[in-house]
Amino acid sequence: MRELRVEVIGDRRVCLIADQHSYYAVTLEVRGPLGLWEDISLAADAGLGLPEAQVRFRRRVAEQQARALGLGNL
């Protein structure tokens, strides 16, 4: 797995990753009580083509930015 893009928003991290088979995924992680990243990704954000993965990445970043600003769900 190779990280293509990473955004850290508060205690959350959103990553766009590529695997060796040219599939892409968007992962969502939260910083746990010990300071380690814990995966809370959605299964629907895995096994994507690049165009869809880029759209999902931007959406997950926007969701986490809204959450950090206290705006709730988009």
User: Longest C-alpha distance within the chain, in Å?
Assistant: 38
- In the chain the domains, ranked by start, together with CATH numbers, are 2-68 (3.10.450)
Q: Are strands 12-18 and 2-9 parallel, antiparallel or unpaired?
A: antiparallel
Q: How far is CA 24 from CA 3, 31, 41, 47, in A?
A: 10, 23, 13, 6
Which of the four pLDDT bands, split at 50, 70 and 90, describes residue 1?
A: confident
Nearest residue to 60 (alpha-carbon basis) of 44, 37, 36: 44
For residue 3, what pLDDT is reported? 94
Interval 30-68: pLDDT, tens: 999 999 999 999 999 999 999 999 999 999 999 999 999
